[in-house]
Structure 1
Amino acid sequence: MKIAIGSDHNAFQLKETIKEFLADTKHEVIDFGCYSEDAVDYPDIAFQVAETISEGKAERGILVCGTGIGVCIAANKYPGIRAGLAHDVYSAERAQLSNNAQILTMGSQIVGPEVAKKVVEAYLNVSWEEGSKRKVDKIVEKEAEFVGENFKEAVAGSNCAVN
């Protein structure tokens, strides 16, 4: 699976750990930074990962900042994106199974490297089975009201579509 990944400077080390874990488990990784512990603004990274998902250049994304909250909020501002915050295996599975979240977010000040690997593994090992399609469709419909009439057509066929 092709996975877009990114972090701010607070989560650089955890992002690197996750990136290595993904490579070891034979996933293709697109790294959007940051590339050191030098300060960066997490919205910039989150928007790049969200855009990559939206364009279908990666199947899923993983974003990490200090709490996971900031990158989650930022990614969810991108039309068609559903990012979910998870710090445990169950939440990670439900982000995908119940909400068809294309992006998983976590906080480096909340979870350590071993827990993060388990959370990522849980998220990637499940696929949306449309059990909550009606609910996700409502989210897409509401977003379409704000984004514009052509929103559903614009995301049809992209990684953002509910299908």
Structure 2
Amino acid sequence: MKIAMGSDHGGFALKQHLKTYLENKGCLVEDCGTDSTQSCDYPDFGRLAAEAVASGRCERGIVICTTGIGISISANKVRGIRCALCSEPLSAEMTRRHNDANMLALGGGMIGPNMAERIVDVFLSTAFEGGRHQRRVDKVMSIEG
């Protein structure tokens, strides 16, 4: 699976940790930046990662800032993206099962690397249930801003 990853300075350390974790599991990672802990703007990197997913270059995306809030909002501005902010595995499971989320947002200042690994594992391994949920996803995707 090819995964786009993006973070600002507040999510950089967790992004680097998860990038190595995923590569060790055989995933291909497209690193959309940032490349340091120097202060930067989360919308730039949330957008780049979301565009990689929306274009089909990557199957899923993971974006990280200090809280995960700002970068998830930014990713969701890209047409075709359903980015969910998760801080524990059950939310990651349900957003895949019911919302067919194609991107995951994490808060680098909110959760540690062990929890992040578990959330990512669940997010990447859970399938969309379809059925009645497809109608709802279609309605969400038809909303234009």
Shorter-chain-normalised TM-score: which range?
over 0.9
Shift of 1:59: 0.0
Distance in 2 (alpha carbons) for counterparts of 1:134 and 1:52: 25
Cα shift readout 1:85-140 (whole Å, capped 9, x = no counterpart): 00100001111111111100010111001000000001001121214111111111
Q: Corresponding residue for 1:123?
A: 123
* TM-score, scaled to structure 1: 0.86
Distance in 1 (alpha carbons) for counterparts of 2:108 and 2:143: 32
Q: Secondary structure at the match of 1:29?
A: strand
Q: CA RMSD in A?
A: 0.9
> Which protein shows a greater Rg?
1
Distance in 1 (alpha carbons) for counterparts of 2:65 and 2:125: 23
* TM-score, scaled to structure 2: 0.96
Instruction: Tell me how many residue pairs correspond in the alignment.
Output: 144
Distance in 2 (alpha carbons) for counterparts of 1:9 and 1:142: 31
Unaligned runs of 5+ in 1: 147-163
Shift of 1:60: 0.1
Q: Corresponding residue for 2:32?
A: 32
Question: What is the percent sequence identity of the aligned residues?
Answer: 42
1:6-155 to 2 correspondences below 5 Å: 6-131=6-131, 132-143=133-144, 146=145
Shift of 1:47: 0.6
Distance in 1 (alpha carbons) for counterparts of 2:17 and 2:5: 11
Distance in 2 (alpha carbons) for counterparts of 1:142 and 1:55: 19
Distance in 1 (alpha carbons) for counterparts of 2:142 and 2:113: 37
- Runs ≥4 in structure 1, deviation > 4 angstroms? none
